Amino acid sequence: MKSKETEKIKDLHKNTNLPNNKRLTTNQGVKVNDTNNSLSASERGPSLLEDFILREKITHFDHERIPERIVHARGSGAHGYFELYESQQKYTKAEIFTDTNRKTPVFVRFSTVAGSKGSVDLARDVRGFAVKFYTQEGIFDLVGNNMPIFFIQDAMKFPDLIHSVKPEPNREIPQAASAHDTFYDFISLTTETLHNHIWLMSDRAIPRSFRMMEGFGIHTFRFVNVKGESHFVKFHWKPKLGVKSVTWDEAVKIHGADPDFHRRDLWDAIEAGNYPEWELGIQVIPEKDENKFDFDLLDPTKLIPEEMVPVKRIGKMVLNRNPSNFFAETEQVAFHPGHLVPGIDFTNDPLLQGRLFSYTDTQLSRLGSPNFHEIPINRPINEVHNNQRDAHMRMTINEGKTAYFPNSIGGGCPYLSKIAEGGFSHYEERVDGKKIRSRSESFNDHFSQPALFYRSLETWEKEHVINGYAFELGKCTYEHIKLRMLWLLEQINNQLAERVAEQLGLEIPKDIDHPINQAIGANADINKQQPPKKKNYLDTSKALSQTFLASDDIATCKIAILVANGFNGDDYVELRKLLEEKNATVALIAPHGGKIICNKKNQYDVDAFLSTTESVLYDALYVPGGKEAIKTLMEEAKAIKFINETLKHCKTIGTADEGEELLDQTYVKLFKDDEAILINKNVQVFIKALSKHRNWKREKEAINIPV
Ligand code: HDE
């Protein structure tokens, strides 16, 4: 246990004369003198129904669970604040975006989408990135994801999308995984999904940390200024630590080594005072430019390349406090894209419009009452006054006899606010047309942006995308689904399709005129929407490639130091000091737990011993010298595996003196010219290599290392 926590517990125990409010009581406040034994008639006799203490304890326990979120069930939250750099009053009257003197409290919840509450953190999935701003004008929720686009264009299709990705209903398999038939059946028949889907195949879907992901509001929103003028706006979160991911091989291994990898990482960083930070960016588009793009601004499957409209960074968010109680805060928090403050407004994006209905509706079944806004984590910081009353679990005791408007008996309260006094008014957009059920033609280009994304990736990223598709389609069992996907990939990029086809052992079909496709043609996009010629409004966009979104900051980077008794203590102490100065985290790993003794006879606490830990939980490895230590490690099969795996995952490896003999027992001996394999180099060189996160140049060969 960490020393800070141990001290806290000691403090509690010091106080033997606990005040009444710390004594165990029933929910009615009655002190309890036994919580281990039920009331029974004689020592070995039957339990008695009158035992109200037992009944209360069990009844409460029986009802402890609430329905988990239908999507985004697995999540982790943190508190923090938002600060604005410069007033955006030209665009918006929202005071969090005009008042630079404010520190607005926030609560953020990161999540995966498909898995249940207890599923693993490293599933290949989109991540939710939901921010609740507790502004002085009320709650503003920016309920976004870590990818800038969504799978579908219209809310009507959301249940179909989610049903297809969730475990197949006959046997509830697979958990938190998109690699199965029903998902690819849907994707391959719904071409609008292909853009978000290619992001899902990329490393963005397996982040190294929540702290190293971008966030996006996705939809085009509106900013409205004091004069009532509107601008379109897209929201972006840019992480201070850059965008970093793990490889799929690591993700699979992290599933077993630490299923709570992201949750733990967020918690530990905040506990250690390494507060996660993002800058809030906006892309602002004047109303007059609405139709200037080759795609529709209302289409949530399209992004606006940053090269076309730059992202202006307007403020920063810092997460500096862990929740005190997971259920009360992270589980009960209720986000809603319709929680807005004056100065921010919606557009007619049909996905956004549908969401505006869904989020309150889902809270009613999940939290059980329209009073969910009274749960502490959901309460605005300003006062709430209205004529709503009663319902399950009402916490507010409303006084007086009037609960209607207008009234004179209650002094006319609560009063309305004029727009100039901060009353919300919707942007008066002109709407004119017939009631129809159809999709605008301007939403029909489903291939240009997936192609732009693929073109924009560096070679190593492309390889990961190819392998992502091959893995996922390789898990599908119906050949016609794989063929449909291959045909669609061919429309995105020929090299991509060929490489995936090669791994699947299939030929790319020449057309989609397959009997099964004909049979379902009437119900699916695929036959109706023969892809139009792809547009090429931009050759590549650097903002789409992780290569260009890195950061040199090694704060919270986790370095494993592999040692055994007799290791070179001076080497270790110097490295640790320099790494910790840069807020990196160091873990001493040894063949056994407890203490480890260096060549100078100093003792150190072991952080993890080899059989309890795995290389995939660290970002880099260092092996100090020391004859005796190296001899011991050479006989440890797990030490050899640890090194080989670190190498395979393209991480930095450093050693000095006798450490080289250990590395020579591993595949490292074949990679001695590699720029992130550092033998007898000074510590600064090690730190520099670390700041690159991975040496992807190694991957082509290293991927074949048999671990
Ligand atoms: Fe959500 N989504 N969503 N979603 N969503 C929910 O609300 C829904 C969409 C997002 O940490 C649910 O409280 C519909 C896009 C996040 O608590 C539910 C549609 C984006 C979270 C719901 C979408 C999101 C949710 C489930 C299509 C990115 C987790 C529990 C019209 C911009 C928030 C809940 C948290 C949660 C519905 C599409 C992001 C069922 C109908 C697009 C981050 O109401």
573 Cβ neighbours under 8 A, 6+ residues apart? none
Distance (Å, whole) CA 218 – CA 144 = 6
Residue 239, φ and ψ in degrees, nearest 5? -75, 140
pTM of the model: 0.95
**Residue 72: active-site member:** yes
E strands along 563-687, which residues? 585-590, 595-597, 603-605, 608-609, 620-623, 652-655, 677-679
Q: pLDDT class for 22, splitting at 50, 70, 90?
A: confident
The whole domain housing 86 covers 40-378
Q: What is the CATH number of the domain that holds 364?
A: 2.40.180.10
Is the pLDDT confidence value at 2 over 60? no
Q: Is residue 567 a part of any domain in this protein?
A: yes
Predicted local confidence at residue 262, as pLDDT: 98
Cα of 547 vs centre of ligand 1, distance in Å, is 29
Q: Is residue 299 a part of any domain in this protein?
A: yes
Cβ atoms within 10 Å, residue 38: 14
Q: Looking at residues 266-284, what average pLDDT do you find?
A: 97
E strands along 394-476, which residues? none
At which of 378, 397, 417 does a domain end? 378
Predicted local confidence at residue 356, as pLDDT: 96
Nearest to 610 by CA among 628, 630, 637: 637
- List strands edge to edge, sheet with 558-562: 608-609, 585-590, 558-562, 620-623, 652-655, 677-679
Conformational region of residue 172, where left means phi above 0, alpha means psi within -120 to 50, and beta covers everything else = left
User: Which residues approach ligand 1 with their CB closer than 6 A?
Assistant: 69-72, 75, 109, 111, 128, 130, 143-145, 150, 155, 158, 218, 300, 333-335, 351, 354-355, 358-359, 362
Give one DSSP letter per residue of 2-44, joined into a string. Answer: -HHHHHHHHHHHH--S--GGGS-B-TTS-B-S-SSS--BSSTT
Residue of minimum CA distance from atom 6 in ligand 1: 71
Q: What is the pLDDT of residues 483-517, one digit of tens each?
A: 999 999 999 999 999 999 999 999 999 877 666 66
Cα of 371 vs centre of ligand 1, distance in Å, is 20
Give the torsion sign (CA, 634, 640, 646, 651). Answer: positive
Helix (H) / strand (E) element for 112: namely strand 104-112
Q: Is residue 33 a part of any domain in this protein?
A: no
Distance (Å, whole) CA 220 – CA 235 = 8
Is the pLDDT confidence value at 382 over 90? yes
Count CA atoms closer than 13 A to 186's CA, side-chain side: 20
Q: What is the CATH number of the domain that holds 672?
A: 3.40.50.880
Q: Looking at residues 148-169, what average pLDDT do you find?
A: 98
**Secondary structure in 3-state letters for 222-258:** EEECCCCCEEEEEEEEEECCCCCECCHHHHHHHHHHC
The helix/strand/coil state of 110 is strand
Among the options 72, 195, 197, 693, which is catalytic?
72
Nearest to 210 by CA among 185, 234, 184, 237: 237
- Cite the DSSP H helix spans in 100-247: 158-165, 181-189, 194-201
Predicted local confidence at residue 533, as pLDDT: 76
Distance (Å, whole) CA 104 – CA 352 = 25
**Straight-line distance from the first to the last Cα atom of the chain, in angstroms, rounded to the nearest whole number:** 32
At which of 378, 406, 430 does a domain end? 378
Q: Is residue 471 a part of any domain in this protein?
A: no
Q: What is the pLDDT of residues 355-380, one digit of tens each?
A: 999 999 999 999 999 999 999 999 99
Nearest to 628 by CA among 572, 564, 673: 564
Q: What is the pLDDT of residues 559-611, one digit of tens each?
A: 999 999 999 999 999 999 999 999 999 999 999 999 999 999 999 999 999 99
Among the options 79, 145, 336, 599, which is catalytic?
145
User: Atom of ligand 1 at shortest distance to CA of 359?
Assistant: 44
Q: pLDDT class for 4, splitting at 50, 70, 90?
A: low
Task: Tell which one of 204, 330, 336, 355 to mutate to probe ligand 1, the residue whose CB is within 8 A of the most ligand atoms.
Answer: 355
Q: Is residue 172 a part of any domain in this protein?
A: yes
Predicted local confidence at residue 515, as pLDDT: 60
Nearest to 653 by CA among 307, 147, 664: 664
Q: Is residue 233 a part of any domain in this protein?
A: yes
Q: What percent of the chain has pLDDT over 70?
A: 94
Q: What is the pLDDT of residues 622-658, one digit of tens each?
A: 999 999 999 999 999 999 999 999 999 999 999 999 9
The helix/strand/coil state of 577 is helix
Q: Looking at residues 275-288, what average pLDDT do you find?
A: 98
Q: Looking at residues 35-62, what average pLDDT do you find?
A: 96
User: Atom of ligand 1 at shortest distance to CA of 351?
Assistant: 31
**Residue 195: active-site member:** no
Q: pLDDT class for 471, splitting at 50, 70, 90?
A: very high
Q: What is the pLDDT of residues 437-458, one digit of tens each?
A: 999 999 999 999 999 999 999 9
At which of 321, 355, 378 does a domain end? 378
Residue of minimum CA distance from atom 31 in ligand 1: 155
Q: pLDDT class for 668, splitting at 50, 70, 90?
A: very high
Predicted local confidence at residue 517, as pLDDT: 66
Distance (Å, whole) CA 191 – CA 300 = 14
Residue 322 near residue 122 (C-beta atoms within 8 A)? no
Average pLDDT, the chain: 95
Question: How far, in whole angstroms, is CA 515 from its chain's centroid?
Answer: 40
Q: Is residue 61 a part of any domain in this protein?
A: yes
Q: pLDDT class for 1, splitting at 50, 70, 90?
A: very low
The count of structural domains within the chain is 2
Out of 113-122, 334-343, 504-513, least confident range: 504-513
**In angstroms, what CA-CA distances link 662 with 628, 648, 656?**
12, 17, 10
Cβ atoms within 10 Å, residue 642: 25
Q: Is residue 691 a part of any domain in this protein?
A: yes
Cα of 359 vs centre of ligand 1, distance in Å, is 7
Q: What is the pLDDT of residues 528-541, one digit of tens each?
A: 555 667 899 999 99
Is the pLDDT confidence value at 16 over 90? no
Q: What percent of the chain has pLDDT over 90?
A: 93
Helix (H) / strand (E) element for 141: namely strand 138-145
